Chains A and B, each alone.
Chain A
């Protein structure tokens, strides 16, 4: 028998982080976007133990400031795309520079350093990723999906989908279905 699970990475990570911090008796305060603050001083040994324990879950403590900023930009984008309510009314570049209180140019250069791509491109890829998820779920039709993700039309959505994947949504869906059959 085959099962699939549905999970929220953010919550999972946060729970693991809390567990590990409590295990080592470290006093902490959780911050948004995967950040946390240690209130009292912690010995080097304890901090390394925490790093090691979290590493087993493939969770890494980022101590590099630029890398941390990149992570935050990335997570902000993922968040606003996957949660419709958080989607800004202004354009995203303005929203990001407001949020981090840094120039967009700086954000963009930090971002490209780690991704081989631009923020705009990353947004598109993330959106299409969400589209894929919705197509597979089959709860919404293409019109509803395009509305959900702020596309002006189904045609616009389809053409962006084609640009990113090289496939039409229909062919994509067909491939996923046939693949599932093959695996089963």
Chain B
């Protein structure tokens, strides 16, 4: 693994390659010197052989002379003497060759000189013998002495030559052994050289292969990325552009052109050409922003409009920022994206918001009419009713009295309805000033406010510890007053109501809008009673405006109270839930965000 890692590292590989080349160079130089040495030893052997050859040649020429002379002395035949000087030139040539081989070797030249003296002396003996033989007064004893002298001279010449030859032979032998060693060394060096070169070649090849594969892969990926980017630009409706501040050149992506409603590369990328597509009203400001940014190199973000050739207007968001490319040139890179759809949607939302506000204002004035202007004549009716009741009631027939009571009840009912409606609209619109509220104090206050009703019904109300919450004071009061009076109102006949208000832990199962509600996010407060209750299937209905479950006249109500409670909980970013069972009781759960 580690090796593989090193192998992949180009730097390490380069170093290894350099080392290998140095090693090869060294081995090659060693090989070269070995070859050089081999060359000299071959030369040495050759010169030895030549020396040997020349020496033996000399000996054989001298032998021939002796033989010819002997033959003449024995036969007295002049024929044997005919070519006696012929070979003198050959001896000279031999000596010359020997000297040439010996070169500058002074020992050898000395040897050759002494050999030449011997030969010269021998030739003198030949001449002396010949003179004695030819002389008329032939002295036989002198002849014999000279012959003996000649023989010993020949002997010593032979000895001398063979000594030289032997020396040369032993020298050759030595050279040969050396030569053999050097030859072996060279073979090993050469083998190593080949092996190493082969290894490096293989490694280089492999590495190159790997590199090329990787390059190819990267290239493919880059191509793919480019392609997906182009697709993405087209799908997302954005295009990008580059401006090289050093080279003063623009580059536009394909979709940059498409955003302007033209084919990719429809014109030369330049600021001027893009300017033709800018909405005339935006032209100056856009150009100014762009040009300013080229001076101060600050990022830009502007909204602009394209006026396309077909007359359509596109809303474009253009953002740009500065960076340096691989050459170190300062480049402004930007993205333009089409926000026409969003922009139009925003306009629509603004428009409908405006409409909503108008409707709300109308609704508010309607509520004012309902609450104040309608209450005014109603109050008059009630006043006159009470005046009549006080003064004139006795003048009516029993039937008339009955109708009169009904008029009063109807008027009173209408009054509560108007007050509830007013409360509802106040809760729906009201100022939402949140303050920290101690719920326990607040609930106690509500109980005080309802003390008349509570005493009348002989109700028992239990308030346990309640948390502090952030809330709108008067809305919280209204919430608890509504819930408590609801419990009082829908109590069982002849059974004193029992109402409990307490804080509860949220069990894991609590859900709202398919969201799990937990103790960390919400306070849960439960208001429960032992009243007449209702079927759970109506649970949603009780919170709807003007929806009443009980139509029995003994349960008076307007169907607004619980709708107000729901609204109040919504105003507090909380919610209300109800669980109820007929003739068992009802349990309202309030969830306040912490």
Interface residues of A in 123-172 (CB under 8 A from B): 155, 158-159, 162, 168
Give a binary string over B413-452; 1 marks a CB under 8 Å from any A CB, 0 the rest. 0000000000000000000000000000000110010010
Number of chain B residues whose Cβ lies closer than 8 Å to a Cβ of chain A: 4
Q: How far in angstroms is the closest Cβ of chain B from A79?
A: 30
B444 nearest in chain A by CB position: A155
Q: How far is the CA of A159 from the CA of B445 in the complex (A)?
A: 8
Q: How far in angstroms is the closest Cβ of chain A from B80?
A: 170
Q: How far is the CA of A103 from the CA of B451 in the complex (A)?
A: 35
Give a binary string over B144-187; 1 marks a CB under 8 Å from any A CB, 0 the rest. 00000000000000000000000000000000000000000000
Q: How far is the CA of A155 from the CA of B450 in the complex (A)?
A: 13
Q: How far is the CA of A158 from the CA of B477 in the complex (A)?
A: 15
On chain A, the residues within 8 Å of B448 by CB distance are: 155, 158-159, 162
Q: How far in angstroms is the closest Cβ of chain B from A5?
A: 35
Q: How far is the CA of A168 from the CA of B473 in the complex (A)?
A: 13
What total count of A-B pairs have CB within 8 Å? 9
B473 nearest in chain A by CB position: A170
On chain B, the residues within 8 Å of A155 by CB distance are: 444-445, 448
Q: How far is the CA of A159 from the CA of B448 in the complex (A)?
A: 7
Q: Is the interface of A mostly helix, strand, loop or mixed?
A: helix
Q: How far is the CA of A159 from the CA of B452 in the complex (A)?
A: 12
On chain B, the residues within 8 Å of A159 by CB distance are: 448, 451
Q: How far is the CA of A134 from the CA of B322 in the complex (A)?
A: 69
Q: How far is the CA of A152 from the CA of B260 in the complex (A)?
A: 82
Q: Is the interface of B mostly helix, strand, loop or mixed?
A: helix
On chain B, the residues within 8 Å of A162 by CB distance are: 448
Q: How far is the CA of A159 from the CA of B451 in the complex (A)?
A: 10
B449 nearest in chain A by CB position: A162
Q: How far in angstroms is the closest Cβ of chain A from B90?
A: 152
Q: How far is the CA of A113 from the CA of B444 in the complex (A)?
A: 39
Give a binary string over B288-312; 1 marks a CB under 8 Å from any A CB, 0 the rest. 0000000000000000000000000
Q: How far is the CA of A16 from the CA of B437 in the complex (A)?
A: 50
Q: How far is the CA of A162 from the CA of B447 in the complex (A)?
A: 13
On chain B, the residues within 8 Å of A158 by CB distance are: 445, 448
Give a binary string over B438-479; 1 marks a CB under 8 Å from any A CB, 0 the rest. 000000110010010000000000000000000000000000
Q: How far in angstroms is the closest Cβ of chain B from A169?
A: 10
On chain A, the residues within 8 Å of B445 by CB distance are: 155, 158, 168
Q: How far is the CA of A158 from the CA of B444 in the complex (A)?
A: 10
On chain A, the residues within 8 Å of B451 by CB distance are: 159
Interface residues of B in 555-572 (CB under 8 A from A): none
Q: How far is the CA of A158 from the CA of B445 in the complex (A)?
A: 8
Q: How far in angstroms is the closest Cβ of chain B from A158?
A: 7
Q: How far in angstroms is the closest Cβ of chain A from B393?
A: 30
Q: How far is the CA of A94 from the CA of B52 in the complex (A)?
A: 172
Q: How far is the CA of A168 from the CA of B445 in the complex (A)?
A: 9
Interface residues of B in 53-80 (CB under 8 A from A): none
Q: How far is the CA of A162 from the CA of B445 in the complex (A)?
A: 10
Q: How far is the CA of A181 from the CA of B448 in the complex (A)?
A: 31
Interface residues of B in 525-580 (CB under 8 A from A): none
Q: How far in angstroms is the closest Cβ of chain B from A81?
A: 23
Q: How far in angstroms is the closest Cβ of chain A from B167?
A: 138
A156 nearest in chain B by CB position: B448
Q: How far is the CA of A84 from the CA of B451 in the complex (A)?
A: 30
Q: How far is the CA of A64 from the CA of B285 in the complex (A)?
A: 94
Q: How far in angstroms is the closest Cβ of chain B from A159?
A: 5
Q: How far is the CA of A155 from the CA of B441 in the complex (A)?
A: 9
On chain B, the residues within 8 Å of A168 by CB distance are: 445
Q: How far is the CA of A162 from the CA of B444 in the complex (A)?
A: 14
Q: How far in angstroms is the closest Cβ of chain B from A148?
A: 19
Q: How far is the CA of A115 from the CA of B445 in the complex (A)?
A: 32
B441 nearest in chain A by CB position: A154
Q: How far is the CA of A42 from the CA of B445 in the complex (A)?
A: 61
A163 nearest in chain B by CB position: B448
On chain A, the residues within 8 Å of B444 by CB distance are: 155
A170 nearest in chain B by CB position: B473
B477 nearest in chain A by CB position: A168
Q: How far is the CA of A57 from the CA of B28 in the complex (A)?
A: 137
Q: How far is the CA of A162 from the CA of B451 in the complex (A)?
A: 13
A168 nearest in chain B by CB position: B445
Q: How far in angstroms is the closest Cβ of chain A from B438?
A: 11
Q: How far is the CA of A125 from the CA of B120 in the complex (A)?
A: 177
Q: How far in angstroms is the closest Cβ of chain A from B165?
A: 143
Q: How far in angstroms is the closest Cβ of chain A from B477?
A: 10
Q: How far in angstroms is the closest Cβ of chain A from B484?
A: 15
Q: How far is the CA of A21 from the CA of B103 in the complex (A)?
A: 171
Q: How far is the CA of A40 from the CA of B444 in the complex (A)?
A: 63
Q: How far is the CA of A49 from the CA of B445 in the complex (A)?
A: 56
Q: How far is the CA of A102 from the CA of B445 in the complex (A)?
A: 41
Q: How far is the CA of A168 from the CA of B444 in the complex (A)?
A: 13
A142 nearest in chain B by CB position: B441
Q: How far is the CA of A76 from the CA of B212 in the complex (A)?
A: 113
Interface residues of A in 15-56 (CB under 8 A from B): none
Q: How far is the CA of A158 from the CA of B448 in the complex (A)?
A: 9
B451 nearest in chain A by CB position: A159
Q: How far is the CA of A159 from the CA of B450 in the complex (A)?
A: 11
Q: How far is the CA of A101 from the CA of B448 in the complex (A)?
A: 39
Q: How far in angstroms is the closest Cβ of chain B from A168?
A: 7
Q: How far is the CA of A155 from the CA of B448 in the complex (A)?
A: 8
Q: How far is the CA of A155 from the CA of B445 in the complex (A)?
A: 7
Q: How far in angstroms is the closest Cβ of chain B from A162?
A: 7
Q: How far in angstroms is the closest Cβ of chain A from B463?
A: 11
A162 nearest in chain B by CB position: B448
Q: How far in angstroms is the closest Cβ of chain A from B415?
A: 20
Complex A-B: 9 CB contacts under 8 Å: A155-B444, A155-B445, A155-B448, A158-B445, A158-B448, A159-B448, A159-B451, A162-B448, A168-B445
Contacts beyond the supplied A155-B444, A155-B445, A168-B445: 6 A-B pairs with Cβ under 8 Å:
A155-B448, A158-B445, A158-B448, A159-B448, A159-B451, A162-B448
The 4 A-B pairs of least Cβ separation, nearest first, read A159-B448, A155-B444, A155-B448, A158-B448
B residues with a Cβ closer than 8 A to A are 444-445, 448, 451
